[in-house]
Amino acid sequence: MATEAHDAAGAAGQSVGMPQLDVSTWQNQIFWLVVALVVIYFVLRLVALPRIGAVLADRSSTITNDLAAAEELKQKALAAEKAYNAALDKARADAAAIVAAAKAEIQADLDKATAKADAEIAAKVAESESRIGEIRAGALESVTEVAKDTAKELVAALGGKADARSITAAVTAKLKG
């Protein structure tokens, strides 16, 4: 008998199978499924979704503010670049003016120095020409004297006798051409 009861219980257990698939409990399972889904829906709708919405709104406003700030900084950067370029152009123009003024000043100093040097050179040339003239005159006199002495000695060596007047006349005629 005990084996029959055991066999009857085993047969009943085998016929039941998995409780989820038992058609007699489906209504109960569907009810609790609907209750669980409704609870999840209300929890999500009342708690999670507002928080997610707030985070998305914060992110959107942060992005919008950042884009506006970036645009403002971009405009400031463009203005700064224009100011920099204007200052650079002004500095270049000032530098060019300074260079031109320096060149003009240097040219004026150079012209003064050149004029002074030309005057000094002209004075030295005049002095040198006068000295050359003196040396030339002295050399001409010396050549004349040497020529007279040489002619007198040659005439005496050749056995002749010449007076000083005839030697002077001959040397003078020869020197003139």
pLDDT digits 0-9 by tens, 118-169: 999 999 999 999 999 988 888 878 888 888 788 888 888 877 777 878 778 8
- Tell me, yes or no, whether 105 lies in a domain: yes
- Tell me, yes or no, whether 21 lies in a domain: no
- Tell me, yes or no, whether 12 lies in a domain: no
Residue 152 makes CB contacts below 8 A (sequence gap 6+) with 162, 164, 167
Task: Please give the residue that has the higher pLDDT: either 159 or 86.
Answer: 86
Q: What is the pLDDT of residue 173?
A: 82
- Tell me, yes or no, whether 15 lies in a domain: no
Q: Look at the chain and report how many structural domains it folds into.
A: 1
- Tell me, yes or no, whether 1 lies in a domain: no
Q: What is the pLDDT of residue 97?
A: 95
Three-class HEC string of the chain: CHHHHHHHHHHHHHHHCCHHHCHHHHHHHHHHHHHHHHHHHHHHHHHHHHHHHHHHHHHHHHHHHHHHHHHHHHHHHHHHHHHHHHHHHHHHHHHHHHHHHHHHHHHHHHHHHHHHHHHHHHHHHHHHHHHHHHHHHHHHHHHHHHHHHHHHHHHHHCCCCCCHHHHHHHHHHHHHC
Q: What is the pLDDT of residue 112?
A: 93
Q: Print the domain residue range for 58.
A: 26-176
- Tell me, yes or no, whether 9 lies in a domain: no
Q: What is the pLDDT of residue 41?
A: 95
Task: Please give the residue that has the higher pLDDT: either 160 or 12.
Answer: 160
- Tell me, yes or no, whether 135 lies in a domain: yes
